[in-house]
Amino acid sequence: MVATAATSSFFPVPSSSAEAKSNKTPSSFGGIKSKSSSSSGGLKVKANAQAPPKINGSPVSLKTSVDTVKTDDDMPSHSPHPRTFINQLPDWSMLLAAITTIFLAAEKQWMMLEWKPRRSDMLIDPFGIGKIVQDGMVFRQNFSIRSYEIGADRTASIETLMNHLQETALNHVRGAGLLGDGFGSTPEMSKRNLIWVVTRMQVLVDRYPTWGDVVQVDTWVSKSGKNGMRRDWCIRDSNSGEILTRASSVWVMMNKLTRRLSKIPEEVRGEIEPFFVNFDPIVDEDSRKLPKLDDNTADYVRKGLAPRWSDLDINQHVNNVKYIGWILESAPLPILESHELSSITLEYRRECGRDSVLQSLTAVSGNGIGNLANAGNVECQHLLRLEEGAEIVRGRTKWRPKYANNFGIPGQIPAGSA
């Protein structure tokens, strides 16, 4: 430091232009002015250039004085922001944002690559894709019942369950590598403009799941006659394994250009038959004939039903789940309030387009229409038709009284009470 001070006295470092124009007077000692060096770390050096004083005739070495404290006079007069310890720190907000972004990206990668359920009741399949089980014969997918999928009874609606059935059917085709560019069509079907259409469906509900429940849906396909396919489903509680719903359906092929039924081409048969199983139907078929209703035999009629754009599927006809909602539009309100649907049988006779206007007809079997709220099991016949009279769907529904559980919530029915 002594060498630095001595050098500064003889070779002063030029100051900035701001300091040169400053009105402040530099410190002086012995008539010689000194300037602070920018490289001296804020230290100011003062030197005495007069002849060295003598003590008892002996010369004394040059004295230096060092100021270790920097005052306001040492700062340029024009600087609006003096360089202090605080404003020399980095921008902590930007640093924190960068660290947060890195951690979020790492967490996302971990969730995608190494996702593990933390609770036993959480979904095994977080992305809802499902998987093929039982030697490639059965497709399985889990669903969590969302708040927007429950109805007035605080349980999942029949439409929710039907949507789960449809979703697993399509994912089964995709999981098997047979999904073409149609709605569940295989590649060979797509080449020939063929699509699957449902002709008959039967659903039995033992118990409806509630909000937050996780259900496991299994589905498989079998042969039905020469030109048909049967698809079955089984819905279970994913925790207890209790069977909640069973469903069976029959499908045939239709040309989407001519809208006529078609035989199964051999090329298509070669695609789908390896996935057929030799299982018995999960639902015993209700072979009773579904009667045709009219204005004289129906007890309730609802008119003016029309599909919306959102009711159409990619084949430009109404999704078959929508028909169930229209059928229930004419169900008597006392039944809806005091009973719940335990089974439904549907026979699809004709497709419905975007410009169709429909009517829903319902007839209550037996007597006691005036006291439905206190009735036991109730059976209804249904018909969905166009305004000009053409039949769309015939149906039959069975209803059972609602039972309250210990919390006073309706819809909790003991298994097997359908």
Catalytic residues: 315, 317, 352
Cβ contacts of residue 76 below 8 Å, gap of 6+? 16, 18, 19, 22
Spatial contact of 362 and 300, defined as CB atoms under 8 Å apart: yes
Which of 16, 7, 12 shows the shortest CA–CA distance to 27?
12
| Radius of gyration of the CA atoms of the chain, in A | 42
